[in-house]
């Protein structure tokens, strides 16, 4: 592609600083971790079309247009060596001059003007990065390149950066930011890569699929391409491989204007699906009656899913047949390209002129892009041009295309919906988990009951065996003791009888003696025997009593075992009752599960009803009236810019109702105040409206809001409106007289939002440019407030701070040269010099440019020279005089160094010649 080489060294994207600050600016903060706001209750997407269908759910967003100049290629360096470029760029003013001849030229303004030295990184951050951030937040987005053949469209969008990573184009860099921000566990990214060739949509990832239809949803107007290959992206390398496959299948041809000219429109579709966690209600605890178990049932809040789409369109280059030398099949390709681009131009003309009919269906290209122009997508367009005066006609046509596209306004909307499938899956998983947990608990309970029952039976059996063994042992013991006692008694009886017989056979001589002896002998053994028997009987009685006591103990133990058995039976009954309670609990859980399913169906039904009612209905009356006022103002501005006829101020305010807007600034409803102050800020952005706003008391109302409101949005928008009013010198004095600088200083100290700080810094920067207010502004803390805002470290805020310091230094330099200012600079007194020196070589172009101007103005006053030398500013002045890209600033720094005796003395001491 004959687009020439692009030098590295771009900077981060910045807001346009030299124009009035607008609350509807498309400048966005850098990518941040998702975060996210609470999702709405219903899906907020609605029908959108190229004809500009709008509703109250959307946010206005104009198509942003950047112009990029290609450097001269080798052929042009030879052919146009004696001719000057037909294009002159003024990037700091965001202007472009197109020369008609040597003495006349036309001037055009764009959102961004990129020189031939702009790096691929800067082009991405200015053109595509805000769109990518919107896509990650849930909006649709489109990035498109338009221009003549050979001006660098494919280089800007589709460069892979295989040889030099700095050459990576918008497609590759967009996917890098998307993959870095999403969560692989919950989010997904899928890609389709197509080409529109000869009014036929072909799949670059599947060349056999060469006739893909376009299908439009009759309800929402969304465009889909059924049958197109959709590839899930998991890492950056797989995306690069996909782009290589697609580029290999894209049609290209060799023409006089370009050795590798694209003969088709390439369309990259990136679908992003993100899951947003919603707020959950309080968990409901369901406990069983006996308090043994409890289950937590999650609330029925389905997750919210944001579906967004990024469309990157590399249009085929427009060309003239006589210049490109196309013939044969290449000629037919050129005719088809020019017809589709012509249809796109007609649609944009109709949208820019607010025409009731937009010819969307004239081409498949316009049908595919119906959401990008006048629809719901945030759109950025980069128009590429060449410097050659031979192609001035094509360059002028490209510039006019971009100018008309800047008048098109989209109504961007977040597309959210409930993920009922995910909720159903989650409920199914929860249900299966509850069933499994209940089954496990029931099984464990049954096992525990069985264990206790078995243990009780074992204990009872063991007790019975022990009792029987003890009883048998005691019986045998007592039986043995009894038998031994009987045996002893029998032996004693035998012995007594033997003794008695022996005594009776003795010889006695006398009968009396014999009788007496016999009587005595007969009574003697009998008494002894009786005594022994009594003793034995007493022992037997004691033994029987002991045996009876043992029997009673055994009986008591038996009774105790029986009571234990009865207690075990009671435990078994309790366990059975617990089983019955578990069965009832199971039935209760099954009923609750049935109720959950019915609630899910009811939620689905109510969500459908709510969606249909929202599609039929609208917002509140007051907000509708206020939005209608804003729309009236914007439509009036469109008619003025389109027809070239300026409506009178009285007629404009008669239609908008300025007094009514001012009265709404004091409303109790926060939403009404926010809408009213936004309308006021948009009116204040037009210089023709500022005098009427001040006369009607609008400035007082804005200052009052800045003083009393605690709402961050109101303070940010009010500060932006004050910044716009501060562009006028008369208004600057009124702002200072009413304590505006003190209010702005307090606001800057309390605010944390970068956009609020940007608005406040812009207002103070405008006031710094007034010679009459220098001393008072510094006395009321204006310089301190500017330096305090550098804590934000946001490039947009720092650029406004640098602009304010440059304005202040310029006024001081002018006053010093006129003799009305003596002494050291107030900026140095307030400690601004270290920050100025630190940021003199900042990578952000606006910050660096303003700081360089501030250093040059400070150096023009000789009394500041010593402080600047000790603070390191001399080295920065030397660098500026040699390396600054702006010739006027470079010459100013050189003039200052050569005219200051103090600087010359220090340079000679350091042996630096100037």
Per-residue exposure over 232-244, b if at least 16 CB sit within 10 Å of its own CB, e if not: ebeeeeebbebbe
Beta bridge mates, 414:
139
384 alpha carbon, distance to own chain's centre: 32
- Looking at 793-872, list the stretches that DSSP marks H as alpha helix, in order from N- to C-terminal side: 795-818, 826-829, 833-838, 845-859, 865-870
Helix 740-750 with 712-725: angle, nearest 10 deg: 140
256 alpha carbon, distance to own chain's centre: 47
395 annotated to a ligand binding site:
no
- Residue pair 669/701 in contact by the 8 Å Cβ criterion: no
DSSP character string of 797-810: HHHHHHHHHHHHHH
Cβ neighbours of residue 899 closer than 8 Å, sequence gap 6 or more = none
d(CA 295, CA 283): 10
CA distances (Å), 512 to each of 508, 515, 516, 523, 737, in order?
9, 5, 5, 16, 169
d(CA 140, CA 57): 14
d(CA 196, CA 404): 24
d(CA 681, CA 665): 12
Cβ neighbours of residue 540 closer than 8 Å, sequence gap 6 or more = 482, 485
Give the CB-side neighbour count of residue 520, counting CA atoms within 13 A.
5
CA distances (Å), 189 to each of 125, 242, 355, in order?
21, 13, 37
Closest Cα to residue 782, out of 735, 838, 824, 727?
A: 735
- Residue pair 709/681 in contact by the 8 Å Cβ criterion: no
151 annotated to a ligand binding site:
yes
d(CA 374, CA 259): 35
CA end-to-end distance (rounded Å), the chain: 45
3-state SS class at 115: coil
d(CA 210, CA 866): 74
- Residue pair 305/274 in contact by the 8 Å Cβ criterion: yes
d(CA 257, CA 3): 10
- Residue pair 782/768 in contact by the 8 Å Cβ criterion: yes
DSSP character string of 68-81: EEPPP-HHHHHHTT
Closest Cα to residue 825, out of 856, 788, 852?
A: 856
Beta bridge mates, 90:
95
Structure tokens at 760: 């406040």
Q: What is the DSSP letter of 277?
A: P
φ/ψ bin of 352: left (φ > 0), alpha (ψ from -120 to 50), beta (otherwise): alpha
Beta bridge mates, 89:
96
200 annotated to a ligand binding site:
no
Q: How many residues does the chain have?
A: 914
Closest Cα to residue 456, out of 556, 557, 572, 580?
A: 572
Structure tokens at 447: 């096992």
- Residue pair 22/682 in contact by the 8 Å Cβ criterion: yes
147 annotated to a ligand binding site:
yes
Binding residues: 147-154
Binding residues for ATP: 147-154
């Amino acid at each position: 592609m004959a687009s020439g080489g692009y030098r590295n060294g771009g900077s981060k994207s910045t807001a346009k600083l030299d124009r009035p600050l607008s609350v509807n600016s498309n400048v966005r903060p850098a990518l941040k971790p998702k975060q996210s706001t609470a999702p709405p209750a219903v899906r907020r997407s609605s029908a959108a079309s190229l004809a500009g269908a709008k509703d109250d759910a959307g946010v206005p967003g104009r198509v942003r247009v950047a112009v990029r100049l290609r450097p001269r290629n080798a052929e042009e360096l030879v052919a146009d060596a004696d001719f000057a470029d037909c294009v002159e760029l003024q990037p700091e003013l965001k202007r472009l001059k197109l020369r008609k001849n040597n003495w006349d030229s036309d001037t055009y303004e764009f959102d961004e003007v990129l020189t031939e030295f702009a790096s691929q990184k800067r082009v991405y951050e200015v053109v595509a990065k805000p769109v990518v951030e919107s896509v990650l937040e849930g909006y649709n987005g489109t990035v498109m390149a338009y221009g003549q053949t050979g001006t660098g469209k494919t280089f800007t969008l589709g460069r892979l950066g295989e040889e030099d990573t700095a050459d990576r184009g918008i497609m590759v860099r967009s996917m890098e930011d998307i993959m870095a921000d999403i969560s692989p566990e919950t989010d997904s990214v899928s890609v389709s890569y197509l080409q529109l060739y000869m009014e036929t949509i072909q799949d670059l990832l599947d060349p056999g699929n060469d006739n893909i239809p376009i299908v439009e949803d009759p309800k929402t107007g969304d465009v889909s391409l059924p049958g197109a290959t959709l590839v899930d992206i998991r890492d950056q390398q797989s995306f690069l491989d996909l782009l290589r496959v697609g580029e290999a299948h894209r049609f290209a041809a060799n023409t006089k204007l370009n050795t590798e000219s694209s003969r088709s429109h390439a369309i990259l579709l990136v679908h992003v699906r993100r899951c947003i966690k919603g707020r959950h209600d309080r968990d409901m605890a369901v406990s069983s009656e006996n308090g043994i178990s409890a289950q937590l049932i999650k609330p029925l809040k389905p997750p919210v899913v944001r579906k967004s789409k990024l469309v990157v369109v590399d249009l085929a280059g427009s060309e003239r047949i006589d210049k490109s030398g196309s013939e044969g099949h290449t000629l037919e390709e050129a005719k088809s390209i020019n017809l589709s681009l012509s249809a796109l131009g007609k649609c944009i003309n109709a949208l820019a002129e607010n025409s009731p009919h937009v010819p969307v269906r004239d081409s498949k290209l316009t049908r595919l892009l119906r959401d990008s122009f006048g629809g719901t997508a945030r759109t950025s367009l980069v128009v590429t041009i060449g410097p050659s005066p031979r192609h001035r006609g094509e360059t002028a046509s490209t510039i006019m295309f971009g100018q008309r596209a800047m008048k098109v306004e989209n109504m961007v909307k977040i597309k959210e919906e409930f993920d009922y499938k995910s909720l159903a899956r989650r409920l199914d998983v929860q249900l299966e988990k509850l069933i499994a947990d209940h089954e496990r608990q029931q099984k464990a309970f049954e096992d525990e009951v069985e264990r206790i029952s078995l243990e009780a039976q074992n204990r009872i059996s063991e007790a019975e065996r022990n009792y029987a063994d003890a009883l048998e042992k005691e019986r045998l013991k007592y039986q043995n003791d009894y038998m031994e006692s009987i045996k002893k008694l029998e032996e004693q009886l035998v012995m007594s009888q033997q003794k008695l017989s022996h005594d009776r056979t003795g010889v006695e001589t006398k009968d009396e003696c014999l009788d007496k002896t016999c009587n005595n002998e007969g009574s003697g053994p009998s008494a002894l025997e009786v005594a022994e028997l009594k003793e034995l009987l007493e022992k037997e009685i004691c033994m029987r009593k002991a045996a009876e006591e043992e029997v009673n103990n055994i009986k008591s133990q038996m009774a105790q075992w029986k009571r234990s058995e009865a207690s075990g039976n009671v435990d078994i009954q309790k366990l059975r009752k617990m089983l019955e309670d578990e069965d009832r609990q199971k039935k209760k859980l099954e009923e609750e599960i049935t109720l959950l399913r019915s609630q899910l169906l009811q939620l689905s039904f109510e969500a459908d009803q709510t969606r249909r009612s929202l599609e039929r209905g609208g917002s509140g009356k007051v907000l509708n009236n206020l939005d209608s006022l804003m729309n009236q103002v914007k439509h009036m501005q469109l008619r003025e810019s389109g027809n070239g006829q300026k409506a009178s101020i009285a007629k404009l305010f008669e239609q908008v109702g300025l007094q009514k807007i001012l009265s709404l600034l004091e409303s109790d409803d926060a939403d009404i105040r926010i809408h009213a102050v936004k309308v006021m800020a948009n009116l204040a952005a037009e210089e023709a409206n500022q005098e009427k706003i001040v006369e009607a008391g609008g400035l007082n109302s804005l200052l009052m809001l800045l003083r009393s409101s605690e709402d961050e949005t109101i303070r940010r928008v009010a500060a932006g409106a004050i910044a716009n009013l501060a562009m006028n010198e008369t208004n600057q004095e009124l702002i200072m007289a009413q304590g505006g600088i003190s209010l702005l200083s307090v606001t800057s100290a309390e605010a944390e939002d970068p956009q609020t700080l940007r608005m406040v810094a812009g207002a103070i920067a405008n006031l710094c440019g007034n010679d009459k207010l220098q001393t008072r502004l510094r006395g009321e803390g204006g310089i301190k407030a500017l330096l305090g805002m550098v804590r934000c470290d946001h490039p947009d805020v720092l650029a406004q701070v640098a602009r304010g310091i440059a304005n202040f230094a310029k006024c001081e330099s002018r006053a010093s040269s006129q003799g009305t200012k003596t002494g050291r600079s107030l900026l140095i007194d307030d400690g601004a010099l270290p920050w100025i020196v630190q940021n003199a070589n900042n990578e952000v172009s606006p910050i660096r440019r303003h700081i360089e101007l501030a250093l040059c103005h400070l150096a023009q006053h000789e009394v500041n020279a010593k402080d600047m030398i000790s603070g390191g500013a001399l080295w920065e002045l030397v660098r500026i005089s040699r390396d600054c890209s702006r010739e006027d600033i470079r010459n100013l720094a050189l003039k200052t160094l050569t005219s200051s005796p103090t600087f010359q003395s220090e340079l000679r001491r350091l042996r630096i010649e100037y």
